Amino acid sequence: MPAHPLPRTLRERVLHALLYELCAMALLAPLGSWLLGHSLAHTGALALWMSATAMLWNMLFGALFERLEAQLGWTRTPWVRSLHAIGFEGGLVLLCVPVVAWWLQVSYWQALWLDIGVLLFFLPYTWLFNWLYDHARARRARAVA
């Protein structure tokens, strides 16, 4: 895989974000409903809002992180991938905890703990998903070239 991957178009960023969220929702929406004891419709609506927020954040954060990556001459090592995952998820916590507290009618503290549980899923998920995506992207680029 090249040290500096080719820049992503807006179309590819949208595809990447959609794939990321669809895979995550398929895993977490039913599990969240079961664990929280709310209907799938109630948790599903929250999950859809969180998914839309995460997709927009994913595109914005990804673009900013790639600029930083290029400016600092970083390659996508496990350390850089970990930094990316932590930064992405940290920003998402700040965006989502207040809404989760309101929607589920729990305290901010409870919403934070719930979000930490989700974060424990998403940190390795984000790392693995992006690693797989980057390798599939590199393979496709080699096939086209």
pLDDT in tens, 55-104: 889 889 999 999 999 999 999 899 999 999 899 988 998 999 999 999 99
pLDDT of 121 = 85
Q: Would 18 be classed as within a structural domain? A: yes
Residue range(s) defining the domain that contains residue 135? 10-144
Phi and psi for 56 in degrees, rounded to 5? -65, -45
Q: Would 3 be classed as within a structural domain? A: no
Q: Would 89 be classed as within a structural domain? A: yes
Question: Per the structure, how many domains does the chain have?
Answer: 1
pLDDT category of residue 2 using cuts at 50, 70 and 90: low
pTM for this entry: 0.66
Q: Would 1 be classed as within a structural domain? A: no
Task: Let me know how long the chain is.
Answer: 145
Angle between helices 108-144 and 78-104 (to 10 degrees): 140
Q: Would 5 be classed as within a structural domain? A: no
